[in-house]
Amino acid sequence: MKFIIQRDRLVQSVQDVMKAVTSRTTIPILTGIKMTATTEGVTLTGSDSDISIESFIPKEEAGDEIVEIKQPGAIVLQAKFFSEIVKKLPTDFVEIEVLNHLQTVIRSGKSEFNLIGLDAEEYPHLPQIEENNKFQIATDLLKAMIRQTHFAVSTSETRPILTGVNWNITNGELNCIATDSHRLALRKARIETDHDASYNIVIPGKSLNELSKIIDDSNEMIDIVITENQILFKAKHLLFFSRLLEGNYPDTSRLIPAESKTDITVNTKGFLHAIDRASLLAREGRNNVVKLAAHDDGVIEISSNTPEIGKVVEEVQSESVTGEELKISFSAKYMMDALKALEGTDISISFTGAMRPFVIRPLNDESILQLILPVRTY
């Protein structure tokens, strides 16, 4: 195998596939990156058997030559060293050549590295996915939906199904839900499906997080293909496979209250900053809890009291408070995570009592919702 390639394109592709490579694996060859050169271009693959990422660098793009293939072939190189080497090479072009016994030479300018490669034949094959069930979504919308839900997945392995985001597709609508049983994030959007497809799958939160780092913020469509135990995201020159979590996701629709006893409308930014300041003294204490009291004159009092440190009281003027007076305590971190995920300048928060979950929504937007369970402090 021998080819010459633009360094920047190689660095970008290596960084993308590195997101799937882990040092903690029982299959030693998966600590490497597989590189395959064909007459079409160069393909890089990284995998940890949960996530697999394939990045393709075409021979030319828009009339520019990116790769010059001298001899096709394939090799697996240690990801840790290979990624560091390509980042630090001195010139804009890199020559990579595999000699006998998997000896791989990487040349750029006056610098030359020799790496011992592994046999590409031994690298596990990527899942073969039949593309019957596929739908499309705009890349920037997909990124937004991941950002607005994935933070609420559980980090504890006691209920593995909750470490994923539930995607439910019916009648051309995609519903994404994440919950760790203390809070819940929901986002829905219309999507383009081939037929009256309906799916109910759970994608590991970690996979979605890595995917959102790689795909760019454009309105180009990304293809999504679902099988029994895998999901494939197909963007331009990029394939991202993830295994799906097994098991049934709990029915969360019962958690979301239908009516409310107290409703407040506030400016998102001002409210977020007030919670942030109130949490400064709560961090040391247990669970980072702040208290909220809503008065009928529209003033919302946010406070936190940690006996050995001190207390803080913030007042926020709301745009409106309707319903009963209310005192409630909750995790400041959960509230800040929720507020950062919402779009829009004003939000409405609906409470159904001091010990019931409450719902946060942007004003006039039904597609997104955050729910938080309060903390018992009184």
Give pLDDT, residue 48. 93
CATH number at residue 78: 3.10.150.10
Same domain, 88 and 172: no
- Residue at which a domain ends, from 162, 189, 218: 218
Convert 313-341 to b/e letters by CB count within 10 Å (16 or more is b): ebebebeebeeeebebbbbbbbbbbbbeb
Q: Are residues 109 and 162 in the same domain?
A: no
| Residue 55, in any domain of the structure | yes
Judge if 108 and 140 occupy the same domain.
Answer: no
Tell me if 128 is assigned to some domain: no
Q: Over its length of 378 residues, how does the chain's per-residue pLDDT go in tens digits?
A: 999 999 999 999 999 999 999 888 889 999 999 999 999 999 999 999 899 999 999 999 988 999 999 999 999 999 999 999 999 999 999 999 999 889 999 999 999 999 999 999 999 998 888 877 788 999 999 999 999 999 999 999 999 999 999 999 998 899 999 999 999 999 999 987 766 778 999 999 999 999 999 998 898 999 999 988 999 999 999 999 999 999 999 999 999 999 999 999 999 999 999 999 999 988 665 668 999 999 888 999 999 988 888 899 999 999 999 999 999 999 999 999 999 999 789 999 999 999 999 999 999 899 999 999 999 875
Contact 189, 170 (CB under 8 A): no
Residues 11 and 58 in one domain: yes
Residues 207 and 274 occupy one common structural domain: no
Instruction: Please name which of 351, 302, 348 lies closest in space to residue 325, comparing C-alpha atoms.
Output: 351
Cα separation, 226 vs 231, in Å, equals 5
- Output the pLDDT for position 225: 93
Domain of residue 155, CATH code: 3.70.10.10
One domain, residues 16 and 65: yes
Q: What is the pLDDT of residue 291?
A: 95
Collapse the DSSP code of 218 into the 3-class scheme (helix H, G, I; strand E, B; otherwise coil) and give the result.
coil
193 occurs within a structural domain: yes
Q: Tell whether 94 is covered by a domain.
A: yes
Residues 31 and 66 grouped into a single domain: yes
Structure confidence at residue 289 (pLDDT)? 92
Q: How many structural domains are present in the chain?
A: 3
In a domain, 241, yes or no: no
pLDDT confidence of residue 355: 93
**Would 242 be classed as within a structural domain?**
no
Is residue 189 within 8 Å of 144, Cβ to Cβ?
no
Distance CA 165, CA 153 (A): 7
Token pair listed for 246: 């097994």
233 within a domain of the structure (yes/no): no
Q: Is the domain of 206 the same as that of 299?
A: no
Name the token pair of 240: 């991202």
Residues 296 and 326 in one domain: yes
pTM over 0.85: yes
| Residue where a domain stops, chosen among 198, 218, 238 | 218
Domain of 64, in residue numbers: 2-122
Domain identity same for 277 and 350: yes
Q: Domain for residue 226, yes or no?
A: no
Task: Based on the fold, state whether residues 117 and 159 are members of the same structural domain.
Answer: no
Residues 360 and 280 in one domain: yes
In 3-state terms, what secondary structure has residue 335?
helix
Closest C-alpha to 357, from 334, 373, 344, 345: 373
Residue where one domain finishes, among candidates 99, 122, 145: 122
